[in-house]
Amino acid sequence: MTGTDTSADTLTRRPIQWRRATLRDTRMETRTARTLVFDVPGWTEHRAGQHVDVKLTAEDGYSAQRSYSIASASAPGRVELTVQAISDGEVSPYLVETMTPGDELELRGPIGGWFQWTERLTEPVLLVGGGSGIVPLMAMLRERSRADSIAPFHLVYVARTPDHVFYANELYSIGRSTSDVTIERLYTRAGLPDDHRTPGRLGPEDVPPPTVSETGSTRVYVCGPTGFVESATRLLQDRGHEPSAIRTERFGPTGG
């Protein structure tokens, strides 16, 4: 499901109101991607995997809107986004390079009723992310931890190089300290000296087959640029995952 469902909350069909959000803190994830932590009065909760629409308005009234996945686990009054700057983009360079704590923007959400994970789901989860497609998958990992879920998670995260990895320390620490969570980082252009895998696109051998546990069979979430999502979905089906078990989110251009 892509970011087109912006007029109403897909669970309740309530119109979604715009809220003022104040930037509280930022963290650089890579040279060109930044996490933005917003205080959002009135924000109650969201489900991991959902996104928001962000609206920037210039002094002359011109405004631009884009969709961004929520990176954080659910927390009242707080929303974290992670944005990759696109060099000729209208909105993302402002969010990554210019906005400073204390600045405000408008956002509305949470949006999306299909691409989401909650602690009530206990079957094994396979997360497959390409580039900034890691963002909603990170929210799912964080939500798993916040809720003390014991659902087995396996993340396959494809990035260009180690320098392009978001949340590097946190992912390392989750992978080391959490049994039942497997974190795999794959590189398309250049890897680490001791990597066994030759850098390259996601291939059949990179994608685990479905597993069946007493709580059910694997539920899959795939997120990234459209081409990545399409090829990953084909590989997953070739490996035996049922199409109905695969949920996708495409990070295509948005706005208007």
Choose among 224, 160, 205, 209: nearest CA to 186: 160
Taking CB under 6 A as the rule, does residue 60 contact ligand FAD?
no
Taking CB under 6 A as the rule, does residue 183 contact ligand FAD?
no
Taking CB under 6 A as the rule, does residue 229 contact ligand FAD?
no
Q: Site residues for ligand FAD, window 67-86 (CB under 6 A)?
A: 67-69, 82-84, 86
Taking CB under 6 A as the rule, does residue 147 contact ligand FAD?
no
Rounded CA-CA distance 71/146 in Å is: 13
Taking CB under 6 A as the rule, does residue 118 contact ligand FAD?
no
Which residue of 51, 144, 219, 241 would you call a contact of ligand FAD, by CB under 6 A?
51
By CB neighbour count within 10 A (0-12 exposed, 13-18 middle, 19+ buried), where does 158 fall?
A: buried
Which residue of 18, 28, 44, 90 would you call a contact of ligand FAD, by CB under 6 A?
90
Rounded CA-CA distance 102/91 in Å is: 18
CA separation, residue 111 to residues 9, 54, 228, 231 (Å) = 6, 12, 22, 25
Choose among 44, 73, 52, 231: nearest CA to 137: 73
Reduced to 3 states (helix: H, G, I; strand: E, B; else coil), residue 113 is coil
- Is 35 or 124 the residue whose CB approaches ligand FAD more closely? 35
Which residue of 135, 137, 151, 155 would you call a contact of ligand FAD, by CB under 6 A?
135
- Is 89 or 162 the residue whose CB approaches ligand FAD more closely? 89
Interface with ligand FAD (CB under 6 A), residue total 25
Which residue of 3, 49, 110, 191 would you call a contact of ligand FAD, by CB under 6 A?
3
Torsion of CA 226, 227, 230, 232, to 10 degrees: -110
Yes or no: say if 148 and 34 are a contact pair by the CB < 8 Å rule. Answer: no
Taking CB under 6 A as the rule, does residue 113 contact ligand FAD?
no
Residues in contact with ligand FAD by CB under 6 A are 2-3, 51, 66-69, 82-84, 86, 88-92, 132, 135, 225, 249, 251-255
